[in-house]
Structure 1
Amino acid sequence: MPTLIADACAATATATTTGAALPAVLGAGLPVPLVDGTTVPHANLDLAASAPALTCVADRVNALLPYHASVHRGAGYASTVCTAALEAARRTVGRFVGARTDDVVVFTRNTTDALNLLAGAVPGSVLCLDVEHHATLLAWRGGSHRVLRAAATVDSTLDDLRDSLAATPTALVAVTGASNVTGEVLPLAEIARIAHEAGARIVVDAAQLAPHRRVDIEAAGIDYVALSGHKLYAPFGSGALIGRRDWLDVATPYLAGGGAVQHVEVAGDGTAAEVSWAPAPHRHEAGTPNVPGAVALAAACDALDAVFDDAVAHEHALSERLAAGLEGCPGVRPLRIWHDAPDRVGVHSFVVDGHPAGLVAAYLSAEHGISVRDGKFCAHPLVDRLTGWAEGAVRASLGLGTTESDVDRLVAALHELVADGPRWDYEVVDGRWVPVEDPRDLDPLGFGGPAGGAGHSGCGH
């Protein structure tokens, strides 16, 4: 780990449930107002949607900003420094996911961007499951693709996957690493083996997996992995696609422009006669790259890599505590896809009998200072199947910075809701549940006030 990152993380570490130290998250303990006029520490249980920055990640970005300059082809000192920082970040991200020596790391905006980039490189049909985030369901719609309905168990789902691949030639199998609805983890090494036996490759949507579990694409036989910095405590607009070079080296460039070419010849009439494209990763990174975002992502990877075992143990203890609390709350129904999943990260979705999901989320925020996510989480087919209810569900998600107190506050608030209902009145405005005559200051930073919504309640990748 670079010294700057190690020092910053050590200086702001917080204790876990096991007594170990984890890097601090910006905003931990942030006082938030309630509708009754009091304030409480923020319980952020919406990390699966987007996580705040680690303190050490923000420090790393701030250290870079005085040197900010355009990278590559620049002889100036700042440009040279930023070029080195960008390429070092590329190597760090590759190491974080166990990339092979000949794999390529392409910086993207996020997981959605990475999967859409890969979609332009796949030389054949794509198969995915119906439990996927929309990023994995929809990225392939410009080409040949099909969707396999997940069976009642993981084992049965793998049998169906094997049969589907045997029946139809397939170039790529696209699967989630961990469900963004239920947190359940698939046996990726086994799916990779099934895909390879059928002559297909596998891409893993690791947006929810990478912040919670180690990913080793070489050991697991994964061909491509896509991830988002904003899920990895680095919300500075960068993600990555990591994997095999050959498809990416011959694919049409994701964007046409500066940085993606080696040479352009212009004909006499002023038209571009011939273009020699650069190989990956630069082939797919046209334009000025997001150097602070790449550096932030690498800093988060380094910080997480140093504490992963302790972080997993911390999350597991909290996740078990939350699961038991939800199971013991009358009228609360936790959601699961499979009960034989080999692992589960700290993502828990549920419905509360007689209470719309949006109302539950508004109540938790306004009366208890607890942030959760409500709706269908950009996984409409799965949530519709699990709930059978157009209102969607509520999702609580855990991670670095989550405490036992946060979990206990949520469970207690749900017991109170089921027993007594909300203390405040709520209404639907522009498709969203909100407190009636909300007295809280929703623009404490003076940025212009809350924007009116139209009922969108998903969570981007």
Structure 2
Amino acid sequence: MSALDIVGDDLKTELPGGETVRFAHLDYAASAPCAAAAADAVAELLPRYGSVHRGTGVRSQTSTVAYEVARDVVAEFVGARPGDQVIFTRNTTDSLNLLARALPAGTTTLLFDGEHHANLLPWPNPVRLPTPTSPYFAINALKAALRDLRTPAVLAITGASNVTGEIWPVRELADVAHTYGARVIVDAAQLAPHAPLDLDELGADYLAFSGHKLYAPFGAGVLAGRSDWLDAADPYLRGGGASATVGSLPGELTWADGPARHEGGTPNLLGAVALAAVCGALLVADRDALHRREQELLRRLRDGVGSVAGAREVSVFGPAHPRVGIVSLALPGHDPAQVAHRLGREHGVGVRAGKFCAHPLVRRLTGSDAINACESEESGLLRASFGLGSTVQDVDRFVGALAEVLRT
């Protein structure tokens, strides 16, 4: 098994007629399956697993080295700059909430209303911009908003939409933000599994992503970026590790600097090591070849669903805009949740239905602008998403099964 092979890639499922087929997992955007690199890294460390930092025994020393090496590998994976921090968290949501608490008082957060709720809800002083119909409109909307601001600002932006898969013009928006003195935060949860990350190339001051979407489902995430705000903020979790010294009286304490300030408590060593193992495997992989393969599957999927009566692909920027391996479909007259259930039970195809924690965007894409309209299941979407373990056969089975379900 190679490092980027998928554990359980041969998982079988039984159909109602008694036939057993390979399960076609097309729900990578929610949680990707485990890569061999992650599983192998955990299995290798478990016999020597121990406490991290300050312990003197072989277990603790081995574990401490493994944890800090993992941090170094992730730093390389994101193109961390001198002075940047890499903080291990639980997931992207945790990372963005941590950073939201670290923003200097009075900072205004600019964001588009098509964001995942993890990047829509945690920010203080938010200013929501309407989701644009083109990168040109996004850039102009950001310029107009920044021109009118009289407070320090940040832009919080997705790298790739978890609904449509479209890649946002992060660098162009970042250049605008920096012109006005604003910092840039990138939600890279959907970008990280599909494209190389580099803080400088993105123009990002901070980025966040999740291990469970990057083939390392062991409960770790990452926040990476500039140190100054993080070192000036109160600890995200107050407790052991976050404190440098604690006196006998309340208030007699000093907090740690660096990542330890926000990693209070015993860290998720196995999660960090698993995530770093996948990052390391991707660093040495042929990313161009992986990209070409993904785009070939994406074209096949989009061409296939384009011929299915009753299914309509949705997008923000239009059908020609670059995207990762995510396609969402409006199914007028059908309940996406029921369609997804039948795809799984009758055809062994796993997809996702609903609003994908992006309710404002889904309302716009389905034409149901009122919140009460969104409460109808038929106002949601059906999403197929894929990654390293996906095959042409998975895509073709989904397309054929979708056509059959919508006919009956």
TM-score after normalising by structure 2: 0.95
Number of the residue aligned with 1:356:
335
**Counterparts in 2 of 1:340 and 1:187: CA distance versus 1, 3 Å:** farther
**Counterparts in 2 of 1:225 and 1:93: CA distance versus 1, 3 Å:** same
Matched, 1:224 2:224: no
Matched, 1:387 2:387: no
Number of the residue aligned with 2:274:
296
Match of 1:343, SS state, is coil
CA contact 1:127–1:170 (8 Å) conserved in 2? no
Q: Which moved more, 1:228-237 or 1:53-62?
A: 53-62
Number of the residue aligned with 1:129:
112
CA-to-aligned-CA distance 1:75-131 (integer Å, 9 cap, x gap):
111101110110010011111011112110000000000000000111111111101
CA contact 1:117–1:254 (8 Å) conserved in 2? yes
CA contact 2:131–2:361 (8 Å) conserved in 1? no
Paired with 2:79 and 2:56, the residues of 1 have a C-alpha distance of 33
Number of the residue aligned with 1:148:
129
AA in 2 matched with 1:185: I
Of the three residues 361, 373, 386, the one matched with 1:398 is 386
CA contact 1:45–1:396 (8 Å) conserved in 2? yes
Matched, 1:240 2:222: yes
Following superposition, the deviation at residue 342 of structure 1 comes to 5.0
Paired with 1:81 and 1:101, the residues of 2 have a C-alpha distance of 26
**Counterparts in 2 of 1:340 and 1:41: CA distance versus 1, 3 Å:** closer
Paired with 2:365 and 2:220, the residues of 1 have a C-alpha distance of 32
Paired with 2:198 and 2:57, the residues of 1 have a C-alpha distance of 37
AA in 2 matched with 1:239: G
Number of the residue aligned with 1:257:
239
Paired with 1:40 and 1:228, the residues of 2 have a C-alpha distance of 30
Q: Which moved more, 1:341-350 or 1:354-363?
A: 341-350
**Counterparts in 2 of 1:341 and 1:101: CA distance versus 1, 3 Å:** farther
Matched, 1:90 2:71: yes
AA in 1 matched with 2:278: A
Matched, 1:113 2:94: yes
Paired with 1:49 and 1:293, the residues of 2 have a C-alpha distance of 18
Q: Which runs of 5+ in 2 are unaligned?
A: 369-375
Written as runs of structure 1 = structure 2, the 5 A alignment for 1:6-85 is 12-13=1-2, 23-85=4-66
| Percent identical residues | 51
Paired with 1:197 and 1:340, the residues of 2 have a C-alpha distance of 30
Following superposition, the deviation at residue 326 of structure 1 comes to 1.1
Following superposition, the deviation at residue 273 of structure 1 comes to 3.4
Match of 1:219, SS state, is helix
Number of the residue aligned with 1:328:
307
AA in 2 matched with 1:311: L
Paired with 2:336 and 2:347, the residues of 1 have a C-alpha distance of 16
Paired with 2:131 and 2:346, the residues of 1 have a C-alpha distance of 38
AA in 2 matched with 1:404: V
AA in 2 matched with 1:90: R
Following superposition, the deviation at residue 170 of structure 1 comes to 4.0
Paired with 1:394 and 1:340, the residues of 2 have a C-alpha distance of 17
Paired with 2:8 and 2:333, the residues of 1 have a C-alpha distance of 33
Matched, 1:163 2:144: yes
Matched, 1:187 2:169: yes
The count of corresponding residues between Structure 1 and Structure 2 is 395
Number of the residue aligned with 2:373:
none
Following superposition, the deviation at residue 351 of structure 1 comes to 2.0
Following superposition, the deviation at residue 220 of structure 1 comes to 2.8
Matched, 1:409 2:397: yes
CA contact 1:186–1:341 (8 Å) conserved in 2? no
Following superposition, the deviation at residue 341 of structure 1 comes to 7.1
Kindly report the root-mean-square deviation, in angstroms, between the aligned alpha carbons of the 2 structures. Answer: 1.3
TM-score after normalising by structure 1: 0.84
Following superposition, the deviation at residue 418 of structure 1 comes to 2.7
Match of 2:251, SS state, is strand
Paired with 1:256 and 1:324, the residues of 2 have a C-alpha distance of 52
Number of the residue aligned with 1:449:
none
CA contact 1:99–1:243 (8 Å) conserved in 2? yes
Match of 1:395, SS state, is strand
CA-to-aligned-CA distance 1:31-77 (integer Å, 9 cap, x gap):
01222332210100000000111012101111001111111111111
CA-to-aligned-CA distance 1:341-389 (integer Å, 9 cap, x gap):
7520010000223210001100100010000010000000101110135
Paired with 1:373 and 1:396, the residues of 2 have a C-alpha distance of 7
Paired with 1:339 and 1:97, the residues of 2 have a C-alpha distance of 29
Paired with 1:304 and 1:293, the residues of 2 have a C-alpha distance of 17
Match of 1:184, SS state, is coil
CA contact 2:89–2:223 (8 Å) conserved in 1? yes
Match of 1:374, SS state, is strand
Q: Which moved more, 1:217-226 or 1:112-121?
A: 217-226
Matched, 1:274 2:261: no
Match of 1:399, SS state, is coil
CA contact 2:162–2:356 (8 Å) conserved in 1? yes
CA contact 2:79–2:199 (8 Å) conserved in 1? yes
CA contact 2:37–2:274 (8 Å) conserved in 1? no
CA contact 1:187–1:342 (8 Å) conserved in 2? no
Q: Which moved more, 1:164-173 or 1:118-127?
A: 164-173
CA-to-aligned-CA distance 1:269-290 (integer Å, 9 cap, x gap):
xxx2311000120000000000
